[in-house]
Amino acid sequence: MYLSKLYLLEYLVMSYREQKKYFEQLKRYERKFSSDEKKEYSMLLKRHKDDEDLDSISFAKLKKLYEKYYVNRVKKDFIDPFKK
């Protein structure tokens, strides 16, 4: 019983951290959202600010926005061309 509560707590903390990461990254791209995406994002953001964990459907919507707008760019190694 105790272990199951511990795993549940660990899952919730991890979920909140992941949720927070997505919102921090998407903050930069708010101006690029379409009107529907902006409404959806603002609703999700309000729920996040109320310290409410998102359910699986809402989290999937947030993840979809993240995957659509956030591009993880690879940093170039500028020293590499000068090596012999």
> What residue ranges do the domains of the chain occupy?
25-72
In this prediction, residue 23 carries a pLDDT of 94
Structure-block tokens of residue 82: 């000068």
Mean predicted lDDT score pLDDT of the chain: 81
84: pLDDT strictly greater than 90: no
Residue 5, pLDDT above cutoff 60:
no
| pLDDT of 54 | 84
CB count in 10 Å sphere of residue 26: 21
Contact (CB, 8 A) for 39 and 82: no
Question: What does the pLDDT look like over 6-46, one tens digit per residue?
Answer: 555 445 555 788 899 999 999 999 999 999 999 999 999 99
- Give the three-class secondary structure for 59: helix
Under 8 Å between Cβ of 33 and 41: yes
Nearest to 21 by CA among 74, 73, 70: 70
